[in-house]
Amino acid sequence: MDVGAKMIIMPAMQHWTAWDLFLVFLMWTIMMIAMMVPSASPVVLLFARINRHRNERQSALLASGHFLLGYLTAWTGFSLVATLAQWGLLSAALVSPMMASTSNVFGAGLLLVAGLFQLSPLKYSCLAHCRSPVGFFATEWRPGLLAAFKMGLKHGSYCLGCCWALMGLLFAFGVMNLLWVAALSAFVLLEKLAPANVFTSRLSGLLFVGWAAWIFFRPG
């Protein structure tokens, strides 16, 4: 990604071509796959195990592939929205070509939104679905490859609803900042797997709100 940013995917500040849009969309898609697949792996493995136990006609590997494809389709949709958002933010000069915030107010605003969302009931509702795949499969299971894709898409939508604000912080920290990309990926995994998940989300929400206030009110 770092090499790509410097040599291939360095979009202009204005007047993007279709090629610019495609490359940035490709970058976002690859990045979302790299960030979200690790946290989705336990759910995919659980899907495969349930599929084998139910003696479905299609192979567990093929069905799991369709489930994962559906999951990634949800995040591909997010990648498209992020690409268009980046285009608009670059045109407004709110982010640099390296896709980091150029405005303290904008960066603080992103942190504030993420912090408040981390404390919201919607966050915990979506997170509960992500953390309880057994309950999800108990109510949503349908046979067939198309049904596997739809289940993956729906589960991915819950995951997207849980994590969209965190992904938005990439515009504050820098989309090409691999340290922040890795940190956010690890945090998403921690939220889904840690026993004290509500505490983790609430603590991060308070930290984001405090960080936003510090950026906004600091001298200079």
pLDDT score recorded for residue 75: 95
CA nearest neighbour of 180 among 104, 117, 101 = 101
- Mean pLDDT of the region 98-104: 78
Backbone φ and ψ of 9, nearest 5°: -105, 50
More confident residue, 138 or 198: 138
* Count of Cβ atoms closer than 10 Å to residue 138 Cβ: 10
Burial 164-178 (b: 16+ CB within 10 A, else e): bbbbbbbbbbbbbbe
pLDDT score recorded for residue 4: 46
CA nearest neighbour of 211 among 109, 125, 118 = 109
Total length of the chain: 220
The CA distance from 167 to 181, in Å, is: 9
Helix, strand, or coil here: 141? coil
- Mean pLDDT of the region 153-170: 92
Instruction: Check: CB of residue 150 under 8 Å from CB of residue 142.
Output: yes
Lowest mean pLDDT among 34-38, 172-176, 188-192, 212-216: 172-176
Q: What token pair was written down for 139?
A: 């109510």
Helices within the chain (DSSP H only): 2-7, 18-53, 60-91, 104-118, 121-131, 133-140, 145-168, 170-173, 178-193, 197-217
pLDDT score recorded for residue 55: 67
User: For 168-192, what is each residue's pLDDT tens digit?
Assistant: 998 888 777 788 888 888 888 888 8
The answer to whether residue 5 scores a pLDDT higher than 50 is: no
More confident residue, 14 or 52: 52
Q: Where in the chain are the domains?
A: 2-217
- Mean pLDDT of the region 12-37: 84
User: For 53-73, what is each residue's pLDDT tens digit?
Assistant: 876 666 778 889 999 999 999
User: For 117-137, what is each residue's pLDDT tens digit?
Assistant: 999 999 988 888 888 888 888
